[in-house]
């Protein structure tokens, strides 16, 4: 009996179609940025500021991303970086998971590419066009050759990686032609890398820098955010921080954010993904209260427009993060997310009823012309709470005593009268004079009531 081996290797055409079919243009661009961010993290001590510049032109048929984040060695390029998938060993705290992101992104964006890299010891370029690569065959076996060209070249830019992709794909061209899509991309980059923007990293798209204002929560003597810290995994190697509290009354900004190794993967989520119900079984008017009485999480409601929740997940091994393969969503079946999901719901069970009482109190204060509790709030950056291990959520409205809202009444007097009244009331300043006039009127009203 002959013992034969059956060829099970994939065709290049099938393989490329398979890995690029379901990944979006946005995810592909973010994947390339991830590579620069990971390099910056490795070289943070040398590269004080990581600069990542994205440029594109449909007319000139190119897309490029350049960074000064240290570059990659030739050894890594030859043996790891350009392989379609590689071993699990990764640099601590990075986002590279499967060893497929850069190549998938390049072929999603276009057909021809040049990757130039410069380090302290190496200077080279890797390049290929898709048509040539698809036809590369071993002369003896006729098997596909899964390799790209590499040449040593003298590069004049700072240590880093420059990628240029030409012969752009139809999907990228269609995407970039829509102005709304470009604005959406800026917003996604702004949110995804907000932990690093302004904190060592500068990202620009076609020369326009992307800025991000830090997320904030409110605090007061009667209000404190919820903070809890967990370490899970076989050796407690996965660090989790959950922070939740009160923000501005903006429904579009409410919900949960999930940040994995510094990259925000889920943003402002108010769906079942992060523990909210999809709808009420009861009428809208009393559905929220009934939901709380049954100890379930209600669907999002405008009374929860102030809710802000942040989950930080950090692990040296990115393969243990609960990410999907395109890093644009969460693997809901992952044991880490199963744990986090329950903790997010536990936090909401306690916080959401108090938020509803807060909104009711604010409405009542406005009706009664009293100062609402939110006017006593003070902002604090969310990152300020990362050092806290645990803080119980506090929103004790019983500790807040609403006072009558003061109304300014304009009063115009000629200069002579002001001087005379200051002498009469023994007031040195205009403000003191106003207080004395107020006191005088109040005393007269009391006197009149007694008559």
**pLDDT of amino acid 450:** 62
Pick out the chain residues at pLDDT < 50. Answer: 282-283, 294
**pLDDT of amino acid 199:** 84
**pLDDT of amino acid 449:** 63
State how beta strands 238-246 and 307-314 pair. Answer: antiparallel
**pLDDT of amino acid 293:** 57
Read off the pTM. Answer: 0.83
**pLDDT of amino acid 368:** 86
Question: Is residue 166 classed as helix, strand or coil in its secondary structure?
Answer: strand
**Which residue's structure tokens are 């100890």?**
295
User: Are 211 and 190 contacting, i.e. CB atoms less than 8 angstroms apart?
Assistant: yes
- Give all domains of the chain, ordered by start, each with its CATH number: 12-209 (3.30.565.10), 216-399 (3.30.230), 415-450 (no CATH)
CA distance to 57, 91, 220, 265, 294, per residue, from 214 (Å): 31, 27, 19, 17, 36
**pLDDT of amino acid 438:** 84
User: Are 107 and 16 contacting, i.e. CB atoms less than 8 angstroms apart?
Assistant: yes
**pLDDT of amino acid 282:** 44
**pLDDT of amino acid 446:** 75
**Which residue's structure tokens are 């500790």?**
399
């Amino acid at each position: 009996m002959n013992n034969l081996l059956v060829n099970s290797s994939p065709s290049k055409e099938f393989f490329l179609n398979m890995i690029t079919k379901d990944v979006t243009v946005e995810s592909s661009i973010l994947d390339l940025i991830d590579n620069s961010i990971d390099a910056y993290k490795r070289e943070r001590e040398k590269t004080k500021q990581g600069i990542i510049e994205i440029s594109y032109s449909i007319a000139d048929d190119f897309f490029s991303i350049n960074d000064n984040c240290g570059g990659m060695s030739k050894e890594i390029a030859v043996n790891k970086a350009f392989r379609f998938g590689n071993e699990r060993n990764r640099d601590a705290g990075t986002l590279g998971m499967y060893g497929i992101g850069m190549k998938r992104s390049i072929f999603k964006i276009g057909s021809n590419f040049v990757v130039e890299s410069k380090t302290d010891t190496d200077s080279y370029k890797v390049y290929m066009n898709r048509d040539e690569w698809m036809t590369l065959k071993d002369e003896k076996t006729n098997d596909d050759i899964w390799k790209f060209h590499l040449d040593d070249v003298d590069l004049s830019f700072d240590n880093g990686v420059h990628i240029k992709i030409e012969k752009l794909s139809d999907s990228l061209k269609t995407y970039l032609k829509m102005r709304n899509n470009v604005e959406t991309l800026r917003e996604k980059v702004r949110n995804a890398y907000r932990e690093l923007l302004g904190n060592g990293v500068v990202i620009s798209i076609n020369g326009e820098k992307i800025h991000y204002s830090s997320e904030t929560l409110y605090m007061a003597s009667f209000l404190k955010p919820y903070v809890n810290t967990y370490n899970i995994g076989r050796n407690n190697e996965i660090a989790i921080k959950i922070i939740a509290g009160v923000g501005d009354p903006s429904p579009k900004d409410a919900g949960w954010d999930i940040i994995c190794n510094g990259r925000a993967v889920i943003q402002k989520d108010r769906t079942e993904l992060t523990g909210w119900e999809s709808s009420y079984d009861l009428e809208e008017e009393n559905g929220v209260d009934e939901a709380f009485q049954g100890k379930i999480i209600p669907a999002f409601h405008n009374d929860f427009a102030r809710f802000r929740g942040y989950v930080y997940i950090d692990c040296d091994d990115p393969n243990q993060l609960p990410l999907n393969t395109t890093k644009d969503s969460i693997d809901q079946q992952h044991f880490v997310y199963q744990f986090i999901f329950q903790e997010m719901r536990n936090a909401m069970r306690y916080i959401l009823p108090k938020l509803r009482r807060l909104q009711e109190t604010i409405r009542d204060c406005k009706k009664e012309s009293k100062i609402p509790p939110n006017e006593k709030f003070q902002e604090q950056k969310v990152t300020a709470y990362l050092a806290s291990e645990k803080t119980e959520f506090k929103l004790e409205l019983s500790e807040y005593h609403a006072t009558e809202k003061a109304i300014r009444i304009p009063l115009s007097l000629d200069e002579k009268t002001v001087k005379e009244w200051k002498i009469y009331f023994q007031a040195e300043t205009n403000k003191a004079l106003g207080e004395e006039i107020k006191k005088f009127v109040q005393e007269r009203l009391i006197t009149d009531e007694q008559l």
